[in-house]
Structure 1
Amino acid sequence: MRIRISAVILSLALATTTVLAAPAPIAPSTPNILAAAPSHFNHLQKRNWVTDKLKELLQEALNSLECSACVAALVGVKDVAYLNKNWVLSALNDICPSLSKEPADVCTGLINSQGPVIIDSLLKADLTGGDGKEICFQVLGVCPAPAVSSGTLTFPKPRPANPTIRAASGTLSDVLHLSDWHVDEQYTPNSEAQCNRPLCCRKYPDSPASGANNRSASSWGDYNCDSPVKLGQDLLKYVPTVAKPAFAILTGDVPPHDVWSETQGTVVGEEANAYGVLASLGATVYPTIGNHESGPPNLFPTAASGGDASWLYNSLATAWSRWLPASATNSLKANNGAYTVSPAPGFRIISLNTNFCYTMNFYLYAKTNDYDPNGELNWLITQLQAAEDAGERVWIIGHVGPSQTDCLQNWSALYYQVIQRYSPHVIAEQFFGHTHYDEFALFYNSPTKNAASAISTAWIGPSVTPYTNLNPGFRVYKVDTGNWNVYDAETYVADLNQASTWDAQGTTPNWHLEYSARAAYTPYLSSPSAATQPLSPAWWHNVTTAFESNPAAFQQYWTYRGKSANKIPACANGSACPKEMICDLRAGKSSDACTPISFSLKARSDQRAEAMEAMAGEAMMDPSGLHSLYTRAPLKPWNKKLCGTINKH
């Protein structure tokens, strides 16, 4: 899931992140931070002197948020790491608590788990040759965006001149979309819900005594916390009362957001338990891998980086074997988490591990010009070509959406080409998660973005977890079993503001239909489509046009985007926010997005509410699972997008 990158991880990223191009360590530049150390110092004195200078560089970079300062900090870190990696970790442990306002256990856990991978990647980077600017852009948004340089793909066969789409059957089935489950087995009712850590509603060593909480956690959940086990169980009991799913898709992220303490051992157990609960649904579930599925989170090795995630793929293959055939679980193990399965004749689901585009997967920076790590996009093309040859319809499911700004732009651009080649005659729909919001993104076959050129929709599913400041929710699609297009999408939520009442009255969450996409947006359209027609990419483009011309329509979308939670920030009509949000809805590739990545440091505890009020749009969540804030800060010149040039037809 996408949650805000914590102050810790960003200081860690500045300190040890890398965007790499070289296969082997590149020696530090000369002169460097080491050469400046007084020659008469002994080893301990030199260590202290060097780490002090390194901390100064890091502090300057985070204070100024300027491109040159960020690159200088990375170069300084690399110089020190080349001599002694532990000196870098020591410096980070020294500055983390004061810089991030996080408790020592959070800092230590993050640095010890993420640091070694990041440092190893940093040592391979040519930081002054462009890698430094790229990492400073990708992680902090403080350098100009590098030019998209992934090139043009070659496909096995040319696109058919007049491709045909399988006819609708006239029969609609329910399909359940769950995303960002994030169950917290350590959730403790009546614990502190407004704590000093990235994740609350747990008993920590320094938790206040009983009765001294700032706010006590209800038994059903809290806006600062992940899902208690019983919230997910209750959701699954409710689903059959409103839908009879032919199957379900789960677009990633099962473990909780205690990213500083998640390990291989913890995630394997949490995932096994959660999938056991999901089995109670009684329908086949087709899952995909989220960034939190790995322990530590976010880290998925590539062939270029080295490292081994076979333990994860093997574990998931075992857990998912209750739903997937052997051909799919074997593919999952052989293809770094990707698999394909056919739920019905003429229909195929392709599950991708989109963490290979995720900007906080630091393994990716071992080779920045490897735009298709582990050959996943090449594998996808092979599957789509086979589907085209067989006349099949395809759904693509993944976690991090290619439209999201934390998907690497070169990977996203290549993926966009794949969608253009095989849509709409092969690819019927796409489904992702990660943001926790109820969203969508559009793909076009032309730089001119209008209803005629819209070719594919990416449905971004609402999260089950209320983390952060959202109501728990899920979607039910009405899907034709012939063309496998979506004819309606119904979002269901529970109003977590009433959680204390549920406890007091001994009742359960008030799950209810929040809205039907067709019913909600059709009144705003000048030429509504018939109920016998799917919610096509053209239909959704026309909805975005209505958002531009009708402020009430956009505000309705904004409410639904946040699942009607009363804590969502304003996106005021007349401000830049609506224009940027509409631009993002039309940005199937991340380089087209109008919402920039920027950075500020805030403590989560007593500043949480103020921070949320101050944020808008993409300020919301970044999937590293930590919590410093991406905010809508004044844009650098290189982050300004020409939103005014968006086509309005």
Structure 2
Amino acid sequence: MRLSPALYVLVAAGSLTQAAAVDKRDLASEIWADIESAASCTACEALLVVLKGLAAFGNTIFVDTITEVCKLSGADDPDVCEGAVALEGPILAQDLRGMTVGSHTSTLFCNTFFGLCPFPAVTPYSVTFPSPKPATTRPAVSGQPPLTFVHISDIHVDQFYETGASYNCTKPICCRPYTAADAPGNNGYPAGPYGNTACDAPVSLEDSMFAAINSIAPNAAFTIFTGDIVDHAVWLVNETQVTADIQDAYSHMASLPHVYTTAGNHEASPVNAFNPAAVKTSLDIQWLYNLLATDNQPYLGSDAQEIQNFGAYSTKFAGGNLRIISINSNLYYKENYWLYEKTMESDPSGQLAWLVSELDAAEQAGENVYIIGHMAMGLDDALHDGSNYFNQIVDRYSATIAALFFGHTHVDQFEIAYTDYTNPSFSNALEVSYLAPSMTPTSGPPAFQVVSVDPVTFGVLDITTYIANISDPSYQNGPTWVEYYSAKQAYGPLVDPPLTDPTAELTPAFWHNVTVAFENDDTAFQSYIAHKSRGWNVPSCTGDCKTSEICGMRAAEAQYNCATVTPGINFRKRDEGLERLPGVVEERVCDGARLRPLLSKLAARDGLLEEMLEKVQVKYRE
């Protein structure tokens, strides 16, 4: 590490008085030098000593210094740095003050934020169940006429979207008049009235999609909404805006068939900040749980009050033998900084124990269950420990759980749960998680899905995706919503024997066999890749990309998804370091936090290192 001797003494001593005398630009420069030189897990742990010392000086010095680092790096515009670090920095500082360097928490921190340490091994923990797993399995479908429902996700409505504002701005999300040059009439990149792929969704797009749902699926029994209402301008978001956004979205959703909702990571302010009950803070998320309980009351009745506990609930569908359990997956999300406690909890807020009790009661009552949440638990966004413990529950109650539904990635994909992830096969495939594409067009054409299910077993029979082609020249005259593809029609013929019967279930075994077909039939696999982004700027995916993609399909538990960590300092203007340019498919646009892309890309060298260092030198010569 290259920390100057004088500054090291101040940091090690934790002297607030002396540290206050250090010019924040000098301190930022030293921090910058240490970050860019860190290239191993050991170096990251040494860096944590410095950051812990900085955090010990208090939130003000920590926020001021990291803000200066952000500005010097060019990671974001100065106002974005100031807003984001002011919101997220105090949480990070509290984490660092309680962290023991070399612990499970610090290793995970280095893995998540810097990409320098390997994934730590899952901490062994056995979930307690009231009774052993029964020998029963999921029932066969009844063959009766199907029931349908609608799945929507990640609407990200931008109440500040302006038609004519520039869609080619310097901020993480555009189509707002951030400056006079961005305002309508003053730019060469005017946004249309129904949205742009560089921007979140205008209210007009929300109205268009909801009207299309009622027209295309007039007989839908209900709607599942798997989270994320608030826009991506996270450096400007506060509790007042989040409250207004949620209430406005719920008022629009009143036009849809009976809605079951879940909380997305953007429903918090600061973004992602869902503190477990054991973490006491003035930034407590209870206000959101109270709000969601009130706003869900028309749909859930007295069951809505459960949301006040930790943002989850369990309720019975009035039209059949189905229980819908909505979990708060943000309590296992690695970008939720509140989770990086000195000793990380096995069951934050007791949600897993609650889930077991609800599933056990459903099993005893002979109910079918849908679990809904925002973040699918097999994604590399999920903490491996929490994902493992959740998967134990899914395995135990696999005969009761009919399917799981999530969002978050903005793309159309699925994950399979197995009894043995080291040897996945059709015979040990247990459950399927379905991830819906987004309404917000940042990852392609706005979309929703109509799900056809057996009315007795609630097994999934088909999923049909509908889109509005945002690349069509007539789109801005008013979106036209059309069928994009049917899962059964696209993938049913790939297996042997073909699965084409409208009343046949898309079982976990079926989906495993589809992944085998993808391995052997590259045309079919490339069709799947196109479906993920609704045909928008379809990326090339061969070799390692294909292997990793199929691995992810076979991993409803995060530690098996083949994700790797890669250090680098690719500074860009979008989440996870991806530049906002036409033709870039971004699968991480939902992360939201600005500090992680800042810190994670500071850790090692790539083609932009010299440019960044030169900027620092110029800055300090001024």
User: TM-score by structure 2 length?
Assistant: 0.89
Q: Distance in 1 between matches of 2:591 and 2:31?
A: 27
Contact 1:347 1:392 in 2 (8 A): yes
User: For 2:555, which of 584, 587, 607 is the aligned residue?
Assistant: 587
Say if 2:523 is the partner of 1:552: yes
Moved more, 128-137 or 220-229: 128-137
1:160-309 alignment runs, 5 A limit: 160-163=134-137, 165=139, 168=142, 170-208=144-182, 210-243=184-217, 244-281=219-256, 283-307=257-281, 308-309=284-285
Change (3 A) 1:46 1:604: closer
Q: Distance in 2 between matches of 1:399 and 1:521?
A: 25
1:150 deviates by: 3.4
Q: Which amino acid aligns with 2:481?
A: W
Q: Distance in 2 between matches of 1:267 and 1:35?
A: 43
Contact 1:47 1:87 in 2 (8 A): no
Change (3 A) 1:336 1:43: closer
Q: Distance in 1 between matches of 2:141 and 2:195?
A: 44
- Aligned match of 2:573: 604
Say if 2:501 is the partner of 1:501: no
Change (3 A) 1:404 1:206: farther
1:354-410 CA distances to partner (integer Å, 9 max, x unpaired)? 000011111111244312101101100000000111111000000011011011100
User: For 1:485, which of 451, 459, 482 is the aligned residue?
Assistant: 459
Provide the secondary structure at the position in 2 that maps to 1:322: helix
1:494 deviates by: 1.1
1:6-63 CA distances to partner (integer Å, 9 max, x unpaired)? xxxxxxxxxxxxxxxxxxxxxxxxx995525899x99578632686345423444246
Say if 2:346 is the partner of 1:371: yes
User: For 1:332, which of 286, 304, 307 is the aligned residue?
Assistant: 307
Contact 2:71 2:81 in 1 (8 A): yes
Change (3 A) 1:168 1:140: farther
Contact 2:27 2:65 in 1 (8 A): no
1:137 deviates by: 0.8
Q: Which amino acid aligns with 1:493?
A: I
1:162-214 CA distances to partner (integer Å, 9 max, x unpaired)? 35637526131111000001000100111110110011000113534654535
1:293 deviates by: 0.6
User: TM-score by structure 1 length?
Assistant: 0.85
RMSD (Å) for aligned C-alpha atoms: 2.8
Moved more, 129-138 or 368-377: 129-138
Moved more, 75-84 or 231-240: 75-84
Say if 2:50 is the partner of 1:76: yes
Q: Which amino acid aligns with 1:591?
A: Q
Change (3 A) 1:453 1:69: same
Say if 2:494 is the partner of 1:524: yes
Contact 1:32 1:76 in 2 (8 A): no
Contact 1:406 1:622 in 2 (8 A): no
- Aligned match of 1:383: 358
Q: Distance in 2 between matches of 1:409 and 1:126?
A: 20
User: Unaligned stretches of 5+ in structure 1?
Assistant: 1-30, 636-649
Change (3 A) 1:634 1:51: closer
State the number of aligned residues: 589
Provide the secondary structure at the position in 2 that maps to 1:324: helix
1:438-479 CA distances to partner (integer Å, 9 max, x unpaired)? 010000112320111101000001111112x41110111001
Change (3 A) 1:232 1:527: same
User: For 2:118, which of 144, 150, 157 is the aligned residue?
Assistant: 144
Higher relative contact order (CA 8 A, sep 6+): 1
Identity %: 33
Change (3 A) 1:38 1:154: closer
1:205-244 CA distances to partner (integer Å, 9 max, x unpaired)? 3534654535221111111110000101001111122212
Change (3 A) 1:220 1:442: same
Q: Distance in 2 between matches of 1:265 and 1:129?
A: 37
Moved more, 93-102 or 511-520: 93-102
Moved more, 152-161 or 475-484: 152-161
- Aligned match of 1:422: 397
1:306-354 CA distances to partner (integer Å, 9 max, x unpaired)? 132221111111111221111x211111x21110010134210000000
Moved more, 161-170 or 188-197: 161-170
Change (3 A) 1:317 1:84: closer
1:105 deviates by: 1.6
Contact 1:33 1:50 in 2 (8 A): no
Say if 2:509 is the partner of 1:535: no
- Aligned match of 1:464: 439
Change (3 A) 1:563 1:115: same
Q: Distance in 2 between matches of 1:164 and 1:592?
A: 24
Say if 2:420 is the partner of 1:450: no
Contact 1:58 1:73 in 2 (8 A): no
Say if 2:482 is the partner of 1:512: yes
Q: Distance in 1 between matches of 2:37 and 2:160?
A: 36
